[in-house]
Chains A and B, each alone.
Chain A
Amino acid sequence: MLEQLYNALFVGSVYALFALGFALVFSVLDILNLAHPTTFMLGAFAAYFAMTAVGLPWYVAGVLAFFVCGAFGIALDRIAFAPLRRRSAPGLSAMISSLAVTLIVVRLIELRYGGDFITFPAGAVPSLVLRIGDAVLEGIRLGIVVLSIVLMLGLTYVVRRTQLGRDLRALAENPRAARILGVDVDRAISATFFVSSALGGLAGVLLAFAYNTLDSRMGLPLELRAFTVMVVGGMGSLPGAVIGAYILGLGEVASLVYLPTELRDAFAFGLLFLVLIVRPTGLLGHRAADRV
């Protein structure tokens, strides 16, 4: 029981980090960034590259991957979203262009590393086992939970208390008014993408460390789960995304215990559909669900 709660907390933390980046871009720019799972995967591979080809220790590789993914986020915006924004194209176009980037990046990674699962060299990722009574808990997961919570608090601080956060909230409210009031809109958008993608990439690094495995399609299962997390919490609400992530983590671990394996995914999508029908604004959403 303790082990399962522990795993739920761990899975929820990874979902939360991933979904926060997704929700941040959606709340500020109304874009569903379908390349976010690709950033997740890219983070894991950037860390792998730094550890195997450059020989850096795991913690340096993790930090490096964080910044590489942040930079990738800015590039992604310039290539796939900025041109659409200039002609104020509808949201559908941004979904498709981020999908195009996904096709390209996933294939580039496969050309270098192939499409199969790969693992980190033995001993490259520290392993530490905690024993509490009968329960066997992996130490690295606890580290991930703590780190995720620290990062979530950090993001909350940035959004609520700093000038950048005020700029972002102004931008989310009304881009034109924000520009008129002297907000450096382009800088704020780049910052949004940097933070969003850096968090998404870091989530990928952490998951790869915890399971000691990575592959070019590891982001796909998270894409639909991130939708669930965001809808349950309220689209674009950052605290909502965190709450939604832990609800999903808990529910998934519980359904692994109580349901047959074929129904593993049923919880996530059943919950998603139910919330959309019963309460489209989610737990903490305040905006009307019928926005176009």
Chain B
Amino acid sequence: METLLEFFRTYATAIAVIGISALLALSVWLTLYAGQLTLGNAAFMGVGAYVSALLGRHLDTPFPLALLSGALAAAVIAVPLGVTVFRLRGVYLAIATLAFGEIVRVILLATPITGKGQGLNGIPPKTELWHIYLSLAVVAYVLWRVQGSTVGRAWAALREDELASASQGIDVRRFKLASFVIGALIAGWAGGLSAHLTFSIDPSDFGFSKAVQILVFAVVGGIPNVLGPIVGAVVFTALPEILRPLKDYRDIFQGLILLGVIVFLPRGLVTFLDVRRTRKLERIGAADVA
């Protein structure tokens, strides 16, 4: 018991970061599950982080309300953005959402109230470990239930064949938009939690590399079910800690693992949890999801 407590105290920050990474991975999982590659979630995380931190600082907003406002702000931005960018598909969609992310970064860099390049410092550390893991549990449960519902099946249909699902009466644009906006909501919430964990935030925390990192969590873990992104986030956030003694070679190991997963495990790390089903899908040529 004592050693367990010791473990938690030593690695508290790492454990918290893992939980936030998992939330972010789930936020991008939503659009990937619907077959859409979007890279705007780092920016939505940034919106949540800045809005919640600024509300707390200038208006003394209570923490839960600030978090909620941050998440809602991200979702509100996601609606018009989604309406505009979902006219695009594939690589074009990915690049458009990436451009949106960069625009958010430039705006943060140029606006006095967000502290420009220095960002915000001295954000009160209000995020507790249980806040993060309760959020993760709720989000994962809800998404798991949604996946099995009509909505989830509509997303899966959209991913497999957009034209066919449209002809079956699925409102393609509304379902795409829904996955995007809910994803933004989750990312914004995670951003608020993250800002009140790390003391300071600046625009470079939410740039291109963060967007790609979030995508990597989800893809490495696997898109077939909600467990995938969580597994990916745990593995890829914990790995740097585990590989600390090999610090100089850490990126090389991460790169090799990433390459290995993409080449040999098209359905991600969750393949190991569900080998028989995967083999069956590979035989019919449906192993790749995203």
A100 within 8 A of B: yes
Distance in angstroms between the alpha carbons of A143 and B110 in the assembled complex: 36
In the assembled complex, which residues on chain B have CB atoms less than 8 Å from the CB atom of A262? 106, 109-110, 116-117
Once A96-B215, A101-B255 are accepted as A-B contacts, the answer to whether A227 and B262 lie under 8 Å apart by CB is no
CB contact list, B233-266 vs A, under 8 A: 248-252, 254-256, 258-259, 262-263, 266
Pick from B87, B99, B219 the residue with the most CB of A within 10 Å.
Answer: B99
> Do residues B98 and A224 form an inter-chain contact, with CB atoms below 8 A?
yes
A97 at the B interface (CB under 8 A): yes
Contacts of B91 in A (CB 8 A): 26, 32, 91, 235
User: Does B259 lie within 8 Å of A280, measured CB to CB?
Assistant: no
Asked whether any CB of chain A lies closer than 8 Å to the CB of B96, the reply is: yes
Q: Are A276 and B92 in contact (CB under 8 A)?
A: yes
Bound-state CA distance A235–B92 (Å) is 9
- Whether A100 contacts B258 by the Cβ 8 Å rule is yes
Number of interface residues of A (CB under 8 A): 49
Mark B108-138 against chain A: 1 for CB-CB distance below 8 A, else 0.
0110000011000000000000000000000
B223 to chain A, nearest CB (A): 10
8 Å CB contact of A103 from B87, B92, B252, B287: B252
> Is residue A292 within 8 Å, beta carbon to beta carbon, of the partner chain?
yes
The chain B residue with its CB closest to the CB of A262 is B110
Say yes or no: B263 contacts A84, CB within 8 Å: yes
Indicate if the CB atoms of A97 and B117 lie closer than 8 Å. Answer: no
- Taking a contact as CB atoms under 8 Å apart, the answer to whether B99 and A107 are in contact is no
Nearest chain A CB to B56 CB, angstrom units: 25
* Contact assessment for B99 and A276 in the assembled complex, using a CB-CB cutoff below 8 Å: yes
Shortest distance in angstroms between A83's beta carbon and chain B's nearest beta carbon? 5
For window 254-283 of A, CB contacts with B under 8 Å fall at 260, 262-263, 265-266, 268-270, 272-273, 276-277, 280
- When C-beta atoms are compared, the residue in chain A nearest to B32 turns out to be A92
CB < 8 Å neighbour of A108 from B95, B110, B252: B252
**Docked pose: A97 CA to B116 CA in angstroms:** 34
A87-B266 contact given A92-B219, A96-B219, CB 8 Å threshold: yes
Q: Is A215 an interface residue (CB 8 A)?
A: no
A273 adjacent to B249 (CB under 8 Å):
no
Name the residue of chain A whose CB is nearest to the CB of B249. Answer: A107
Taking residues whose C-beta sits less than 8 angstroms from the other chain, chain B's interface range is: 35 or more
CA A97 to CA B258, docked complex, whole Å: 7
Nearest-Cβ distance from residue B3 to partner chain A, whole angstroms: 34
Q: Which residue numbers of A lie inside 8 Å of B, CB to CB?
A: 26, 32, 79-80, 83-84, 87, 89-93, 95-97, 99-104, 106-108, 111, 220, 223-224, 227-228, 231, 235, 260, 262-263, 265-266, 268-270, 272-273, 276-277, 280, 289-292
Q: Are B103 and A100 in contact (CB under 8 A)?
A: no
A272 with B266: CB separation less than 8 A: no
The 10 residue pairs across chains A and B that have the minimum distance between CB atoms? A103-B255, A104-B255, A100-B258, A107-B251, A100-B259, A269-B102, A262-B110, A273-B99, A272-B99, A276-B96
Contact B263 A97 (CB under 8 A): yes
Once bound together, how far apart are the Cα atoms of A32 and B162, in whole Å? 22
B92 touches A89 (CB 8 A): no
* Contact (Cβ within 8 A) B89 A292: yes
Q: Does B90 contact A (CB under 8 A)?
A: yes
Instruction: Give the chain A neighbours of B290 by CB distance below 8 A.
Output: 90, 92-93
Say yes or no: is B288 at the interface (Cβ < 8 Å to chain A).
Answer: yes
Q: Any chain A CB within 8 A of the CB of B37?
A: yes
Q: Can you spell out 10 A-B residue pairs with CB atoms less than 8 angstroms apart?
A: A87-B288, A92-B290, A96-B216, A96-B258, A111-B248, A220-B208, A224-B208, A231-B92, A280-B88, A289-B92
